[in-house]
Structure 1
C-alpha cells in the first residue's frame, strides 16, 4: 500500500519529468502557455534583459496560424528611455539595423535560438560576440508610449517562443495532497 508521502513524492517526480524546462531541446522547447504563473525562478537559465527585473506590459500572445496577427514576444517596462538592454545569454550579434521604422538587434544564442530587441539603439555590429549580461544597446522612445519599454522576442528556427520561459518558471501551480494528512 502506498502511503500519502509516497504518493506525494511520486506526483512531484512526475511533475518534474513533465516540466517544460526538462523537455528535450532545452528551455522553452515545450512551452506554449502565455500565462505567467508559478514561482519566479530562473527556469531557463537566462538573465532578464533589463535591470531591475521589469514589469511585463504586454504578454506573449502568438497567433493561431503564422500569417495571422499576434504578439510574438513580450513588452518589458524600462525605468526610462535610454535604459540599457543586456544580452540574456551569450551569443553572437546577427543583425543590428532598422526594420520598417524601428532599430532592432538580434543575437544568435546557438541551438537555433535567437532573441531580438526593439526599439534599441546599438553600436554593435553583426559578428560581435556578446556575453550574458553584456550591454546590447539602449531603449529608444516610442514602442510602448508613454511608458518606456523594449519588445523582446525569441525564436527557435521559425517558431516564436515565449521569452519569459527562459527567465521564469511558467508551469502552472498544482496542489498536492499534504504529506501527513490528519487522521480522519
Structure 2
C-alpha cells in the first residue's frame, strides 16, 4: 500500500519535474541586419534610426556618392546626447586621392567652404534632409542646383590619414543626425521566425 501511494505521488509530481522553461523570443530590435557592402558592418537599429525620437528614414532610393561602391571604413555611431562624442556620419573609402564625388540625390548647394581645416560641401535635398561631405574640394557655389549623380567635387586626403583616402558623409533631418547608409542600403532588421510546426499526417 505504501509503495502504491509513493508511486502515485511520484507520477503526480512528474509533469512538474519535467517542465522545461521555454526561452523568451527576443524582440525584433535584438536582431540586426548586416551591411551587404564590401565591408558590411553590423548595424544596430539605434544606428538606423539616428538620434532618440528622430523619425525613421525612408526606404533607400539614393545613390552612393563614390564609385565603385565603396567600403565602409567606419560606421554611424551617434552619441546618446548631442554634446557627447560619437561618429555622426560614415567614412567610406575612395578609390584614390582626388576621386570624383557624386551627389547621392538631387538638391541645392547650401554651403561650400572650409570648416576648421577641411573643405566641406553641404547639399540641401529638401524635406529637411541635408548631406555634408568632407574633405571635398569643389568649384560649386552656394545656391547651385545639382541633380542626382552630378559631380560635386573631388575627395582630398586628410580625414582618414594619409591612406586610404576616404570621404566622411553625414546626413541630417532637421537637427537630428541619421544614418547615411539607410539611404543607399536596406537596413531593416532581419527577424527570425519560429519554425513551422505541422500536424501529423
Q: Which segments of structure 1 move beyond 2 Å, counting only runs of 4 or more?
A: 31-35, 175-179, 181-184
Give SS of 1:32's match.
helix
Match of 1:161 in 2: 178
Match of 2:24 in 1: none
- Partners of 1:32 and 1:162 within 8 A in 2: no
Name the CA distance, whole Å, in 1 between partners of 2:146 and 2:195.
Answer: 46
Are 1:46 and 2:65 matched, yes or no? Answer: no
**Which segment drifts farther, 166-175 or 124-133?**
166-175
Name the CA distance, whole Å, in 1 between partners of 2:172 and 2:65.
Answer: 16
Give SS of 2:69's match.
coil
Count of aligned pairs between the two proteins: 148
Match of 1:140 in 2: 156
CA shift, 1:108, in A, is 0.1
The one of 140, 143, 157 equivalent to 1:124 is 140
After TM superposition, the structure 1 = structure 2 runs for residues 10-159 of structure 1, keeping only pairs within 5 Å, are 32-33=46-47, 43-145=59-161, 146-159=163-176
- Partners of 2:48 and 2:182 within 8 A in 1: no
Match of 1:176 in 2: 193
**Which segment drifts farther, 142-151 or 42-51?**
42-51
CA RMSD of aligned residues (A): 2.1
TM-score of the aligned structures, taking structure 1 as reference length: 0.75
CA shift, 1:49, in A, is 0.4
- Partners of 1:34 and 1:61 within 8 A in 2: no
Kindly indicate whether structure 1 or structure 2 has the higher relative contact order, using CA contacts under 8 Å at least 6 residues apart: 1
CA shift, 1:32, in A, is 3.3
